[in-house]
Amino acid sequence: MNEFKPLVFSGVQPTGNLHLGNYLGAIRKFVALQENNDCIYCVVDLHSITAQLVHEDLKGQIRSIAAAFIASGIDPEKHIVFNQSAVPQHAELAWIFNCVARIGWMNRMTQFKDKAGKDRENASLGLLAYPSLMAADILVYRATHVPVGDDQKQHLELTRDIAQKFNIDFMEHIRRGGYGVDMVVGEEPVHAYFPPVEPLIGGATPRVMSLRDGTKKMSKSDPSDLSRVNLMDDAETISKKIRKAKTDPDALPSELDGLKGRPEAENLVGIYAALSDKTKEEVLGEFGGQQFSVFKPALVDLAVEVLSPITGEMRRLMGDTAHIDAILRDGGERARARAEKTMSEVREIIGFLQ
């Protein structure tokens, strides 16, 4: 092997209802990336038990994410769609990465600090160590690119650190096995088994904010359902939520600078831009000087036009769980074959008896 074969990997947790932020920030990117890339998309159900151990309907949530993938346009035949727990090699590699990673690295993860809060001693070990599992999710397929939001950039940097330490620590073993790729890290030549993963970040609205508070990210866990547009909402509910979205009394500006200090206005303009594949500047060129009483109905029409076909297909798929299960089972089998090839080589590199 002279170079790493390009491969895109990403996943979504099956916790709560998928919303507009998940669609614009992640799933729509997944759909676009599959046109020119080999892609693996995963429902990361092992991650879902780090923050909440007991779920009332985890199977239903897993199926819902898979349905959203497919309804949005991901092709499960050309690419791979599966649930993480169906491929035990994720957990196996995660244990190895737990031994590669340093405790200090994990303690620096800002998301752990945010989720654990002040009672860090009572947080689960899984919550602390889950970046190792995230690294394993990616590297068990030796993926080269990962579409991520800003909140996951630090975890992707950790994935690169884990890969680099493994490559350096086992470099001679990798070379003897004939598994690696010659590359340069900084100024140092390395014979690497795992690739330096690159983030794919971009789009008109990398972060979709709450409809009730433009300073907070749209979230499944927000107690107010009015804070988000869920992918399963019908047209009437979408209309109600957008019309009730918090705004300010001023008209929309004609220039981008006019959105500074107006988080709710910027959020709604960003959502319109993303849904219409336009820039914020183009949206302001169209609606600048107009009141929200004009802009909100236009945003409602656009959101319903884009989301209604997805919602309808999701409802159809969720009514045929056997079909979703068959897609996930097929994806799991294909994912396991790829993951086992990696793990067989990793076991040889480490020196385990197989």
Residue 121's pLDDT is: 84
pLDDT value at position 107? 87
What pLDDT is recorded for position 116? 75
Instruction: Give buried/exposed letters for 170-192 (b at 16+ CB in 10 A, else e).
Output: bbebbeeeebbbeeeeeeeebbb
Place of tokens 């998928």: 18
- Active centre residues (catalytic): 115, 217, 220
Which residues, at least 6 apart from 46, have a Cβ–Cβ distance to it below 8 Å? 84, 85, 90, 91, 133
Q: How confident is the model at residue 19 (pLDDT cuts 50, 70, 90)?
A: very high
CA atoms within 13 A on the CB side of 5: 6
pLDDT of residue 186: 77
Say what angle helices 89-100 and 153-169 make with each other, to 10 degrees: 80
Residue 325 assigned to a binding site: no
- The predicted pLDDT at position 123 comes to 85
**Whole-prediction pTM value?**
0.91
Integer Cα distance of 188 and 69 in angstroms: 40
164-204 per-position pLDDT tens digit: 999 999 999 999 999 999 988 778 888 999 999 998 876 55
344 carries a ligand binding annotation: no
Q: Is 150 marked as binding a ligand?
A: yes
User: What is residue 314's three-state secondary structure?
Assistant: helix
pLDDT confidence of residue 205? 52
Q: What is the pLDDT of residues 198-215, one digit of tens each?
A: 988 765 555 799 999 999
Note the pLDDT tens digit of each residue in 244-284: 999 999 999 999 999 999 999 999 999 999 999 999 999 99
Q: Which of 187, 172, 149 is nearest to 24 (CA)?
A: 149
Cβ atoms of 24 and 225 closer than 8 Å: no
149 pLDDT above the threshold of 80: no
Residue 62: closest CA among 9, 11, 10, 15: 15
Q: Is 16 known as a binding-site position?
A: no
Q: Average model confidence (pLDDT) for the chain?
A: 92
Question: What's the one-letter identity of residue 18?
Answer: L
DSSP H or E stretch at residue 305: helix 292-318
The pair of three-digit structure tokens given for residue 292, joined into one six-digit string = 């929200």
